[in-house]
A and B are shown apart, each in its own frame.
Chain A
Amino acid sequence: DAGVIQSPRHEVTEMGQEVTLRCKPISGHNSLFWYRQTMMRGLELLIYFNNNVPIDDSGMPEDRFSAKMPNASFSTLKIQPSEPRDSAVYFCASSFIEGGNEQFFGPGTRLTVL
């Protein structure tokens, strides 16, 4: 199994640009999570989906952030417009609801907004 796949691994962009982060969960998993990690705030849950449906987006910082899961094998996290304070590592994780609920994390996308 390839595990959770995230792309790109690194993204450098300028303030005001749109950024799209992508995630492919582990095949067969039916929950998907987006996290953000910074030195100041640690690891924060942004949003999660069960069976492709957004369940809790209370962690999404503001309207500039949006996430979609059009099917069971793909999700995106979009930031528009991006700001320097969005610089962070963004992790995607997936799990199987009916299992032990342990989450499997991807390698992360390191985003730098100049």
Chain B
Amino acid sequence: DAKTTQPPSMDCAEGRAANLPCNHSTISGNEYVYWYRQIHSQGPQYIIHGLKNNETNEMASLIITEDRKSSTLILPHATLRDTAVYYCIVRVATGTYKYIFGTGTRLKVLA
């Protein structure tokens, strides 16, 4: 079973920040938080990952709480092309390479 909990759906106005939460209360010390998204029926796309520090790349920012039991993916200026299902996954970075995908959050960006 997935070790994460996400809201099933969210809406966001175009141009505004989209904040997608994820709970991972049973995360272990050596497990990273990964975010992927799946646009329509395409293959999932890697967005970002982190261990305990906040991370930022050209796509998004990842904010991880100090106790690491939850995190938030931030799309700073959402566009219609960001409409997708967003998956939050926790896993170790070495050894076992399995991802267990949950049901994700279906983000709809509204014009």
Residues of A whose CB lies within 8 Å of any CB of B are 4, 31, 33, 42-45, 48, 50, 55-56, 89, 91, 93, 95, 97, 100-108, 110
What total of chain B residues lie within 8 Å of the partner, measured CB to CB?
A: 21
Judged by a CB distance under 8 angstroms, whether B30 is at the interface is: no
The answer to whether A102 and B34 touch across the interface, beta carbons within 8 angstroms, is yes
Q: How far is the CA of A31 from the CA of B102 in the complex (A)?
A: 22
Residues of B whose CB lies within 8 Å of any CB of A are 34, 36, 38, 41-46, 49, 87, 93-94, 96-103
Shortest B102–chain A CB gap in Å is: 7
Shortest B92–chain A CB gap in Å is: 9
Main secondary structure of the interface of A (DSSP, over half): strand
Tell me which of B43, B101, B103 contacts A108 (CB under 8 A): B43
Shortest A35–chain B CB gap in Å is: 8
Tell me which of B38, B49, B87 contacts A100 (CB under 8 A): B49
What are 19 sample pairs from A and B whose C-beta atoms fall under 8 A apart?
A43-B44, A43-B101, A45-B98, A45-B99, A45-B100, A48-B98, A50-B97, A56-B96, A93-B43, A93-B44, A97-B97, A100-B49, A101-B94, A101-B97, A102-B34, A102-B46, A103-B99, A105-B45, A107-B42
